[in-house]
Amino acid sequence: MKLLDRLRRLVEFAPPGTLVPVDALRKLLEEERENAATAPNRGVTAEEAAEWLHQTLGGRKRKPAAVRKLMRTGYRGIVLESFRVGREVRTTEASLERFAGALRGRSGGRVAESVATVGTDPGDEVRAYRIAYGNGAAD
């Protein structure tokens, strides 16, 4: 259970007039600090990334499925870096920052070098279509 949830339960279920249990709060914070130091970085889930993108880029709220698609296929040639943890696909906050920076920089025409990109030259797509469907010879 996350620290915030544990603290919320501690406060919600306390009877009215209860004094703040400082020792219990210190113990919870100490446990969380120890867990954070020993636990490996599990990254950011698609749900958390959707909320992060909404807060950072603004606009309409993004759904976790849309973030997973950004991880898989990208948007306008910019792919959100990701990795698997079990059956889930996750990303890192640094990858989200690079992705958002690349989207902002896209209007200037330069994409950040550390962000993976997909070829988006329209001429390449037309040639590939013609080769695949026999509507013309390869150039």
Residues 58 and 89 in one domain: yes
Same domain, 64 and 116: yes
Residues 6+ apart with CB under 8 A from 57: 100, 103
Same domain, 34 and 89: no
Q: What percent of the chain has pLDDT over 90?
A: 17
Instruction: Please report which confidence band the pLDDT of residue 120 belongs to, taking 50, 70 and 90 as the band edges.
Output: low
* 63/125 same-domain check: yes
Quote the pLDDT of residue 23.
79
pTM above 0.75, yes or no: no
**Do residues 21 and 51 both lie within one domain?**
no
Of 29-33, 69-73, 112-116, the range with the lowest mean pLDDT is 112-116
Task: Tell me the pLDDT band of 46, cut-offs 50, 70 and 90.
Answer: very high
Three-class DSSP category at 127: helix
Q: Is there a single domain that holds both residue 78 and residue 22?
A: no
The per-residue pLDDT for 63 is: 93
CA 93 vs. chain centroid, Å, equals: 7
Range of the domain at 54: 43-139
Give the chain's domain count. Answer: 2
Could you tell me if 98 and 139 lie in one domain? yes
DSSP code, position 62: P
